[in-house]
Amino acid sequence: MSYTLSFNNRRLAGEVTLAGSKSISNRVLIIRALCGEAFPIQHLANARDTELLQQLLQSEEDIRDAGAAGTTFRFMTAFLSTRPGVQTLTGTERMKERPIGILARALRQLGADIHYLEKDGYPPLRIGTPSGLGHVSRLSIEAGTSSQYISALLMIAPTLPEGLSLLLEGKIVSRPYIEMTLNLMRYFGVHHRWEGNTIRIDPQQYQPRPFRVEADWSAASYYYAMAAFADDVHLQLNGLFKESIQGDAVLAEMMSAFGVETTYNEKGVLLSRAATGRPANFDWDFILCPDLAQTLAVVCAGLGVRGKFSGLDTLRIKETDRIGALQAELAKTGCRLSALPPEDGREYYQVEGKADIKGLPVFATYEDHRMAMAFAPLSMFGGIRIEDPMVVSKSYPSFWEDLQQLGFEVEKEEKN
């Protein structure tokens, strides 16, 4: 199945109530499970990954399938490692290609019983009753791969007999996601000390408290892209907080360079167009906000702005190889994403060219929700087609319906 998208208007106006943040929702669900006492969660994400995590936490089955949900798999690996009984945790074929070895090795050092059922270092896993879990209270972990490994360990840390001192080795990627985890833990009564590259969490009890999930800044990025492409904008995005715990809230600052103004109000934010022109160049380090990289690559391509990106270290181990996927799909518009020579030990990529939308280009999504949503705004320059559009259900199931409310034409086409 594919969707054909078009938008025959240079004015973007309307109101969208964004879904709750998947990142926050998933962490709060794990914390509630570790708390051992139910508490209400308002505005929980309606993302497929979040619904799946809820089901897995409530399941009594011996085999639990996390599907394509990477965060869910990693958080469940740590959570099940603290539980009695023998469980098998599996996922899709793509999930079986996504590494879990760093987290599994760390959990084993803590006393977890984890075995690989197929390829060493990769799902599926057999997780048994822990033996002496927590007899080790000091641990080091590579910090340059996925912050989700670190968050998974941090959330179980206060439940361990001696707590945990976690040394983060090397360059820390996606630090805001670690800080999000710690801020949420603090809200539920668990305190920490972060000294140098070591995070110390003493044994403590989570305290149940009602919680409201803020809207997803990553989801907001697609509307910011549309605002950058429009001539006139009056778009209200509901549910976003100015004082956000999400690293992607830097989006408001980032998009000001493209003439998108953000005004905070009681409902969320109001987007409008500034009188200033668009930049010739855009330079950003995405190490703290990697989920925005695809959107900004498309923004640069759509406006013909030369973009210089760094901090894309984790993009190749996401739902797909996001760098390779961007290179392939941007090429369909006549644009390029090219690797630049390393500087100061860092990798750089450059976006060049101005997107030429003609002949109804067909964009693949690679089983990656962010590929579908990042490329959708290009329909403001002409008709495009998105393959496997329902992949957006992973994080934002109502995305296409929300676009239609703003005046986008969305036509469904079944494959023969």
Omega of the bond prior to 361 within 30 degrees of 0, cis? no
Give residue 342's pLDDT: 86
Q: Is the pTM of this model over 0.75?
A: yes
Give residue 381's pLDDT: 96
Structure tokens given for 271: 């987007």
Domain 2-20+214-413 = CATH 3.10.20.30: no
Among 143, 95, 142, residue whose Cα is nearest residue 117: 95
CA–CA gap between residue 29 and residue 38 (Å, rounded): 10
Among 138-142, 205-209, 303-307, 309-313, the minimum mean pLDDT is found in 309-313
Query: Cβ contacts of residue 122 below 8 Å, gap of 6+?
Result: 96, 97, 98, 99, 100, 101, 116
Question: Mean pLDDT across the stretch 47-52?
Answer: 91
Cβ atoms 304, 354 nearer than 8 A: yes
CA–CA gap between residue 104 and residue 82 (Å, rounded): 13
CA–CA gap between residue 24 and residue 338 (Å, rounded): 33
CATH number corresponding to 22-212: 3.65.10.10
Do 2-20+214-413 and 22-212 show the same overall fold? yes
DSSP letter string, 139-182: EEEE-SS-HHHHHHHHHHGGGSTT-EEEEEESPPPSHHHHHHHH
Q: Rounded to an integer, what is the distance from CA 310 to the centroid of its chain?
A: 17
Summarised one tens digit per residue, pLDDT across range 119-144 is 999 999 999 998 777 677 899 998 87
Quick check: 34 pLDDT over 60?
yes
Summarised one tens digit per residue, pLDDT across range 343-356 is 887 889 999 999 99
Q: Which amino acid is at 303?
A: L
Among 57-66, 92-101, 129-138, the minimum mean pLDDT is found in 129-138
Give residue 221's pLDDT: 98
Quick check: 149 pLDDT over 70?
yes
Active-site positions read 291
CA–CA gap between residue 157 and residue 332 (Å, rounded): 47
Extents of the domains making up the chain = 2-20+214-413, 22-212
Give residue 293's pLDDT: 93
